[in-house]
Each structure stands twice: as structure tokens, then as C-alpha cells.
């Protein structure tokens, strides 16, 4: 059996809890282009740091002139490769709101065909869904194997949707 098979099984087993965490993240209105949501951008950064610390990362919120970044490190075996996961937690504005079928910050699973569901909500595809894929994969790998197979650095920024001015 490969090292990945039991991790994939664990991801399947953890799916309900993973979706609960993702939906919690998606419900935070981290709209970087609107100063009214600055506190929500910080809230997401702090939420991500807490989740990363729970799975053994040395994680911190890094202040910038704009919205904070999340930087996290996890050691791996000596001589192992070092990989970087990049993502962003900020989202686009939701206007025009009348084009949304549901509240954009009330994520849900939606049936779109026979045996096919999608996650709805602002940020589910760009980019909170993807960054949580990194987090949940690391969580499942550690649950199965006890440690990660390589050194990992994570950088999640909060200004990608506004041109990443603080990420020079």
C-alpha cells in the first residue's frame, strides 16, 4: 500500500469536519478591497493561524501596511525537500448582490446534477477552498503518519484581490 492511500481514506473519513471548517472560513467577509472589512480580513488571518497551530505548524500573523499575511513553517525529515504553499484568503466584493441566489457568506453544498454537488459561497473557488485543501491534506497526513514528509512553508496573503500591494 502506498503512503498516500491511507491519507486519502482519512480525508474521506474527515470530510464532514473538513467541510465544517471550510464553511466557517467561507462565512467570514474578508473583502480586501473594502476598508469596511479590514477587521474580517484580520479575523481570517487569525483563524488560519489557529488552525495551522492545531496541526503542529509554527504559524503567525504578519502585519503589513495593508491586510495581514499568514506565515507558517513545519519541519520535515533531515534532507527532505522544502515546499511552499501559497494562497490568499481575501475575496472579491459581492456586488451586484441581487445576482446571488443565496447569501454569498452562507456557504452550502448545492446539488447541480445527478451525483454532483458544488460548494457555493464567496471564496469557495477563489481561494479559500484551495488554501484549505493544503491545510486539510497536512492534517490528514499527520493523523496517519505522525509527521509530514517534507519541510513546508505556507504563505497566505490577504490582498491578492487588490493587487498584492504588500507582497513585493
Residue from 40, 51, 90, 136 carrying the catalytic annotation: 90
Residues belonging to the chain:
168
The domain total for the chain is 1
Q: Looking at residue 94, which CATH number applies to its domain?
A: 3.40.630.10
Instruction: Tell whether 56 is covered by a domain.
Output: yes
Dump pLDDT digits (tens) for 131-159: 999 999 999 999 999 999 999 999 999 99
Is 73 contained in some domain?
yes
In tens, the pLDDT along 58-114 reads 999 999 999 999 999 999 999 999 999 999 999 999 999 999 989 999 999 999 889
- Is 16 designated active site? no
Given a cut of 90, is residue 1 above it in pLDDT? no
Residue 160 has pLDDT above 80, yes or no: yes
Whether residue 167 lies inside any domain: the answer is no
Does residue 164 form part of some domain?
no
Q: How far, in Å, CA of 48 to CA of 89, rounded?
A: 9
- Asked if residue 168 belongs to a domain, the reply is no
Domain that holds residue 121: 4-159
Indicate whether 105 belongs to any domain: yes
CA distance linking residue 144 with residue 79, whole number of Å: 21
Please report whether residue 155 resides in a domain.
yes
Q: What is the pTM of this model?
A: 0.95
Secondary structure (3-state) at 139: helix
Cα–Cα distance for residue pair 22/108, rounded to 1 Å: 10
SS3 for 81? coil
Instruction: Assign 2 a pLDDT band (cuts: 50, 70, 90).
Output: confident
Query: In the chain, what is the greatest distance between 2 CA atoms, to the nearest angstrom?
Result: 54
How far is the C-alpha of 147 from the C-alpha of 165, rounded, in Å?
A: 35
Catalytic residue among 127, 157, 160, 161: 160
Per-residue pLDDT reduced to its tens digit, 26-59: 999 999 999 999 999 999 999 999 999 999 999 9
Q: Provide the pLDDT for residue 168.
A: 81
Using the CB atoms, write b or e for 50-88: b if 16+ within 10 Å.
Answer: ebbeebbbebbbeebebbbbbbbebeeeeeeeeeebebb
Note the pLDDT of residue 57.
98
Q: Exposure of 166 by Cβ count < 10 A (0-12 exposed, 13-18 middle, 19+ buried)?
A: middle
For residue 165, is it within any domain?
A: no
Residue 90 annotated in active site? yes
Amino acid at each position: 500500500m502506498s503512503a498516500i492511500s491511507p491519507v486519502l481514506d482519512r480525508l474521506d473519513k474527515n470530510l464532514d469536519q473538513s467541510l465544517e471548517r471550510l464553511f466557517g472560513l467561507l462565512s467570514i467577509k474578508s473583502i480586501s478591497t473594502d476598508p469596511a472589512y479590514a477587521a474580517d480580513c484580520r479575523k481570517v488571518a487569525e483563524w488560519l493561524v489557529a488552525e495551522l497551530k492545531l496541526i503542529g505548524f509554527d504559524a503567525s500573523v504578519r502585519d503589513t501596511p495593508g491586510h495581514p499575511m499568514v506565515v507558517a513553517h513545519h519541519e520535515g525529515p533531515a534532507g527532505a525537500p522544502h515546499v511552499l504553499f501559497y494562497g490568499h484568503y481575501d475575496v472579491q466584493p459581492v456586488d451586484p448582490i441581487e445576482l446571488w441566489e443565496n447569501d454569498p457568506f452562507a456557504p452550502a453544498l448545492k446539488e447541480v446534477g445527478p451525483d454532483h454537488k458544488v460548494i457555493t459561497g464567496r471564496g469557495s473557488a477563489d481561494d479559500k477552498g484551495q488554501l484549505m485543501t493544503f491545510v486539510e491534506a497536512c492534517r490528514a497526513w499527520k493523523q496517519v503518519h505522525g509527521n509530514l514528509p517534507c519541510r513546508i512553508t505556507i504563505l497566505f496573503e490577504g490582498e491578492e484581490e487588490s493587487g498584492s500591494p504588500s507582497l513585493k
